[in-house]
Structure 1
Amino acid sequence: MAKATVGFLYPGHSAEDDYPRMESMLSEAGVRAGLPLVHTDIGTDAHRVDALLEMGSVDRLTASLAELLTHRPQAVVWACTSASFVFGWDGAAEQVRRLSEAAGLPASSTSFAFAHAVRELGLERVAIAATYPEDVAALFEDFLKRAGVEVTATRGSGIITAAEVGTWGRDEVLRLAREGDDPAAQAVLLPDTALHTAAWVAELEAELGKPVLTANQVTAWEGLRLLSHPATAPALGTLFTDR
């Protein structure tokens, strides 16, 4: 199978090293995929609605497109959850439509990646374990409800900046997932691309005994989905298992 190349627009600098890590994990599993990434100017680093609306403005995204297109991607994904779902379902769809139009390529975002991943796994009930303040986490819950997903519990952690989230390691991520789990949920979602998770997805699932979907994991999967490029890599969790 030919190599698939998905380009990612990533806000600022926090957990961008998850992408070369995932590319390596996919390669070790025999999946031929390139995951090049370029950074967007985020403006104010804050999980606040006003700052997130500016962070996700199409003008900010398209300003980095020329650099990303030098990698010759076949699809583009806006690798940010909060600065996509904050626009609401319709606004996030318009954001993706305009990004696709500007790039001349299929496009998506992390918020839609979560919705598509939940559907792919046949899940109906999920819990949200978020780094965000409660009001921002509630907007992600609203987004998932528009996708027909029942959210059984939502936990926010009150962290304002992506820079702080990016300092979290394995222990903090495991604690976040454990504390955000809910017995009624079929899976736990960790929606922040500033959070390092790629190295620990399989461990998170073993700890909780259910699928765990994390922002960078679903973002990579979404890009490959856009290209109809199968990717089986058990180290990246249930989403990357052969079905």
Structure 2
Amino acid sequence: MTALGFIYPGHSAEDDYPRIEQLLGSDIRVDLVHTDIGEDTHRADALREMGSAERLAAGVEGLRLSGAETVVWASTSGGFVHGWDGAQEQVRTLARLAGMPASSTSFAFVHAARELGVRRVAVGATYPEDVAVLFAEFLRAGGLEVAGMRSSGIVTAAEAGTWGEEDVLTLARAADVADAQAVLLPDTALHTAAHLSLLEKALSKPVLTANQVSVWEGLRLADRRVNAPSLGALFTREPLVQV
């Protein structure tokens, strides 16, 4: 049994995680601990506070008895708003607090794109444009080219959590551009686990979503690879040999 730990702010699309656990169909356990989201707004200062060391420490306390082997800060915006260097320091702090390998959803997107051999991506963000731009800057710092970006201007995680399949598909289609090798949907408050097959079929390219890559990142930290085609191209490839 491999136990993966996730620190998830608030309550929006957390039911993606037990769904993904079921779709993995293997000896994988997904343990989710919620932290106080604070002010529910996609505003940079509030997002930085949401991912503060104090809030992460509170989440770690909840994971101590779970037996988790790895931990992922499952908030994309709560990571990338700190910038590349700040997000690295956030992960180092999380690893120190938890005493186990740690990462965050923001880094998971970069690692997942590399796993697929993807360089050029399109971004479909629920966030306001100024926050979406920060995510694009983070991806570029990670060596990716952002070929296109679409912002939906959603202010709260609660609103993002109400979106259904058609809303998610509309965003992905609007974000996609011809030369993008993959489409990224970065909000962990967005339900996407049930829609991955549809999204990839509709766009004819890999689609990376926040909760999907978060679980993949936890598995990567645990040195596990699971074949689960219903979770998209990311879960159907052997690891690439890094040269």
TM-score range, shorter-chain basis? over 0.9
Tell me the distance in 1 between the aligned counterparts of 2:189 and 2:110: 19
Q: CA deviation at 1:68?
A: 1.4
Alpha-carbon offset, residue 4 of structure 1: 1.0
Which consecutive residues of structure 1, in runs of 5 or more, have no partner in the other structure? none
Question: 1:201 Cα deviation (Å)?
Answer: 0.5
1:12 aligns to what? 10
What RMSD over aligned residues (CA atoms) do the two structures have, in Å? Answer: 0.6
* Residue 37 (structure 1) aligned to one of 16, 28, 32: 32
Q: Which residue does 1:240 correspond to in 2?
A: 235
How far the C-alpha of 1:82 sits from its partner, in A, is 0.3
**2:108 maps to which residue?**
113
- What's 1:25 paired with? 23
What does residue 134 of structure 1 align with?
Answer: 129
- Residue from 70, 75, 87 that aligns with 1:80: 75
Distance in 2, Cα, partners of 1:190 & 1:95: 22
Q: What is the identity, as a one-letter code, of the residue corresponding to 2:10?
A: G
Separation (CA, whole Å) in 2 of partners of 1:182 and 1:73: 39
Q: CA deviation at 1:69?
A: 1.7
Pairing of 1:206-225 with structure 2 (within 5 A): 206-225=201-220
In structure 1, what is the Cα distance between the partners aligned to 2:81 and 2:205?
27
Q: What residue in structure 2 maps to residue 102 of structure 1?
A: 97
Q: Does 1:122 align with 2:117?
A: yes
Q: Which amino acid aligns with 2:98?
A: A
1:165-185 per-residue CA deviation (whole Å, 9 max, x = no partner) reads: 000011101111111111110
- Tell me which residue corresponds to 2:241: none
Q: CA deviation at 1:207?
A: 0.3
The aligned runs of 1:140-159 (5 Å cut-off) are 140-159=135-154
Matched, 1:200 2:195: yes
* Partners of 1:153 and 1:190 in 2: CA distance: 12
Q: Provide the rounded CA distance (Å) in 1 between the counterparts of 2:193 and 2:54.
A: 29
The Cα shift of 1:58 comes to 1.1
Give, as a single letter, the amino acid of the residue that structure 1 aligns with 2:111. H
Structure 2 alignment gaps of length 5 or more? 239-243
> Runs of 4 or more off by more than 3 Å in structure 1?
none
Q: Counterpart amino acid of 2:72?
A: V
Residue 46 (structure 1) aligns with: 41
Could you tell me which amino acid in structure 2 is paired with residue 24 of structure 1? Q
Q: Deviations over 1:120-143 (max 9, x none)?
A: 000010000000000000000000
1:93 aligns with 2:77: no
Deviations 1:69-109 (A, max 9, x none): 21110000000000100000000000000000000000000
Distance (Å, rounded) in 2 between the aligned partners of 1:125 and 1:64: 34
Following the alignment from structure 2 to structure 1, what is the Cα–Cα distance between the partners of residues 208 and 155?
22
TM (norm. structure 2) is: 0.97
SS in 1 for 2:194: helix
The CA distance in 1 between the partners of 2:59 and 2:210, in whole Å, is 21
The Cα shift of 1:242 comes to 3.3
Counting matched residue pairs gives 238
Equivalents in 1 of 2:19, 2:106: separation in Å? Answer: 21
CA deviations on 1:35-82 (whole Å, 9 max, x unpaired) are: 110101111000000100100101111112111121110000000000
In the alignment, which of 148, 172, 181 is matched to residue 186 of structure 1?
Answer: 181
Query: What CA distance in whole angstroms lies between the structure 2 residues aligned with 1:57 and 1:16?
Result: 20
